Amino acid sequence: MSDHALNTRQAPPAEFDRRAFFTKIGLGSLGIAAAGTIVFSYEYLSPNVLYEPSPIVNIGKPQDFALNSVTMDVNAAIYLVRADEGYFALSMVCTHLGCLTAWNQDLGIIKCPCHGSEFTRTGQKIEGPAPKPLPWLKTWVSDEGDLMVDRSTDIPPLQYLRI
């Protein structure tokens, strides 16, 4: 308790210490300014408007897709599958590290060229490092009768679109 012995020799704590007060004010304002700088830097570095393609894509008329077919749209990075139960859209982007997977017609599976992940037609993982199945994407029919896919909205698997 050497601190205690030291304190008894100092001036009574009730006395106003101007130097300590200004030091606190100064450090406090610096802290607020630093916090503000971090917030402003973060906001400046996050773009508010992105000139990226719209997540919603029109992929054509439903009848253009044959029954039990998997259609790859490389530009939109989606699979449009027409199964017996109905239509569904699957993201082509591998859940491992974001490579574009590809449909292998002969084996009837989806394979990723980067690290060897394999998926079934419904997106379930067969093997490889991918941690999650390929997500199902929100799909609907527009007023003009076109199939629409929203690539930014995942839906639970096995929700087929029946037309």
**98 part of the interface to other proteins, by CB under 8 A:** yes
Q: Which is nearer to other proteins, 10 or 152 (CB)?
A: 152
Tokens of 16: 């106003």
Query: Among 27, 33, 97, 107, which residue interacts with other proteins (rule: CB under 8 A)?
Result: 97
Q: In this structure, are residues 102 and 91 in contact, taking their beta carbons and an 8 Å threshold?
A: no
User: CA separation (Å) from 128 to 72, 74, 93, 108?
Assistant: 21, 22, 14, 16
Contacting other proteins within 102-131 (CB under 8 A): 114
Query: Among 2, 47, 74, 144, which residue interacts with other proteins (rule: CB under 8 A)?
Result: 47
Q: Which is nearer to other proteins, 81 or 130 (CB)?
A: 130
Q: Which is nearer to other proteins, 82 or 125 (CB)?
A: 125
Applying CB under 8 A, which part among 25-33, 47-55, 84-92, 134-142 lies near other proteins? Answer: 47-55
- Chain positions contacting other proteins, by CB under 8 A: 42, 45-47, 50-52, 96-99, 114
